[in-house]
Amino acid sequence: MDTARTLSANLASLLRREHSALGAFLVALADFDRRRAWMTLGHASLFAYLHRELRLSKAAAQYRKVAAELIQQVPAVGEALGEGRLCLTSIVEAARVVTAQNWETVLPRFFGLSRREAMEVVAQLQPQPAPPTRTIVSPVRTAPSEVAAGPAFVLPILSLEVGPAGNRTPGSSSELTEREVNTSAPTHRPAEVVPLTADLRRFHLTVSDRFLKKLQAAKDALAHARPGATEEELLEAGLDLLLEKSAKRKGLVSKPRKTPPPAKAGHIPAHVKRAVWKRDGGRCQFRLPSGEICGSTHQLEFDHIEPVALGGVSTVENVRIVCRSHNIISARRVFGDDWMDRYAPGKVSLRDETG
Residue ranges in contact with Zn ion by CB under 5 A: 284, 286, 294, 296, 323, 326
What's the rounded Cα separation, in Å, for the pair 125 and 96?
A: 10
Q: Which is nearer to Zn ion, 216 or 299 (CB)?
A: 299
Q: Which is nearer to Zn ion, 45 or 315 (CB)?
A: 45
Minimal distance, residue 335 CB to Zn ion, in Å: 18
Minimal distance, residue 296 CB to Zn ion, in Å: 4
Q: Which is nearer to Zn ion, 301 or 317 (CB)?
A: 301
Minimal distance, residue 299 CB to Zn ion, in Å: 9
Q: Which is nearer to Zn ion, 268 or 284 (CB)?
A: 284
* Sign of torsion over alpha carbons 240, 322, 263, 342: positive
- Amino acid identity for residue 170 in this structure: P
110 contacts 93 by C-beta, under 8 angstroms: yes
Minimal distance, residue 280 CB to Zn ion, in Å: 11
What's the rounded Cα separation, in Å, for the pair 76 and 230?
A: 51
What's the rounded Cα separation, in Å, for the pair 205 and 223?
A: 24
Pairing relation of β-strands 134-138 and 157-161? antiparallel
Strands (E), 278-353: 300-304, 319-323
Q: Which is nearer to Zn ion, 273 or 326 (CB)?
A: 326
Q: Which is nearer to Zn ion, 271 or 283 (CB)?
A: 283
Of the CA atoms within 13 Å of residue 166, those in its CB half-sphere come to 2
Minimal distance, residue 43 CB to Zn ion, in Å: 9
Minimal distance, residue 327 CB to Zn ion, in Å: 8
What's the rounded Cα separation, in Å, for the pair 46 and 31?
A: 11
